[in-house]
Structure 1
């Protein structure tokens, strides 16, 4: 990244500000939250993909930590390729922003959930557990998935499902709806 302003043609706004080396050095030292991304993958029947990780107890959804230099979308694309050998599938609508306080993991974390799908029958049949992190996976009706997922994740996924149906993203704090979330997205408790 250079400190030069973006000179590409804009349709709105004035030219971007120049970011100085001093600003960049300061921002590089700011303690940032960890970032994680989750895929709410559906099939043609509206069921969601639930995975059984080999490295931790309990069911989960595909996704993982965003690595340095990645955007949330890039991290999710990488995770889907690594975990499920799933590539070339567009990342769909943004569904949830869940802000997890530092008390939970020792450092704050921002979790995003994106819709992926619906996958075709061919795509669902081609899923492979490429990196060994996933031991099994299955598509489940939403209510069954919610009953089988750990409580904290189930609240986030319930909010993701409601956001998908309502067309309005949800903002959560540690799995609980935040006041900024639209009233169109029911409380995920």
Structure 2
């Protein structure tokens, strides 16, 4: 950094470094449960498996804001995002670059809140509130593991991180 004495040179130096740094795809998922411990799943029209509510983070959007936005877009409700339960780095696969997947605690929804859920996004064909065992069977295997880890983290107060979990 020696020799960068004016703000313009320093800005250019930082901009060049920023342009060379990795860009990650980021997904923000939400664990929503009912009072019986069942979980909310959505059935995307563009995937072979069910999924947790949530989706892709937009450019320069905080993951928590993306999680709230995605749940509102998919299920028509405003949720309050709690703490981070799981953060996974997924290696590149198929046509996709690597990705960070955040799973946030969306809390326990009461009967009125469950009743208010409705599909409000054409990318979602349906949703269901299901037992954990049923959720495992519907989710892609790596998402089923994320769900198990998220539920365990929500119950224990722990946090989970994994690399290459796909």
Task: Looking at secondary structure, tell me which structure has more helix per residue.
Answer: 2
Matched positions, count: 157
Matches within 5 A, 1:103-182: 103=93, 105-175=95-165
Q: 1:83 maps to what in 2?
A: 74
- Per-residue CA deviation, residues 6-55 of structure 1 (Å, 9 max, x unaligned), is xxxxxxxxxxxxx8453245314423111001111111111110111122
After superposition, the Cα gap between the structure-2 partners of 1:97 and 1:105, relative to the gap in structure 1 and judged at 3 Å, is farther
How far apart are the structure 2 equivalents of 1:115 and 1:46? 13
Measure how far apart 1:130 and its partner are: 1.2
Q: Residue 135 of structure 2: SS of its match in structure 1?
A: helix
1:163, CA displacement in angstroms? 1.1
Aligned mates of 2:47, 2:34 — CA distance in 1: 25
d(CA) in 2 for partners of 1:43, 1:165:
14
TM-score (norm. length: structure 2) = 0.86
Matches of 2:82 and 2:19 in 1, distance apart? 30
SS in 1 for 2:33: strand
Where structure 2 has 5 or more consecutive residues not aligned to the other structure, the ranges are 1-9
User: C-alpha separation between the residues in 2 aligned to 1:114 and 1:172?
Assistant: 15
Deviation of 1:128 (Å): 1.7
| Counterpart-to-counterpart distance in 2, 1:108 and 1:154 | 19
Structure with the bigger RCO (C-alpha within 8 Å, sep 6+) is: 2
**Residue 103 of structure 1: how far off its partner (Å):** 3.9
Runs of 4+ off more than 6 Å: none
Which residue of 2 is the match for residue 63 of structure 1?
A: 54
1:102 is paired with a residue whose SS is coil
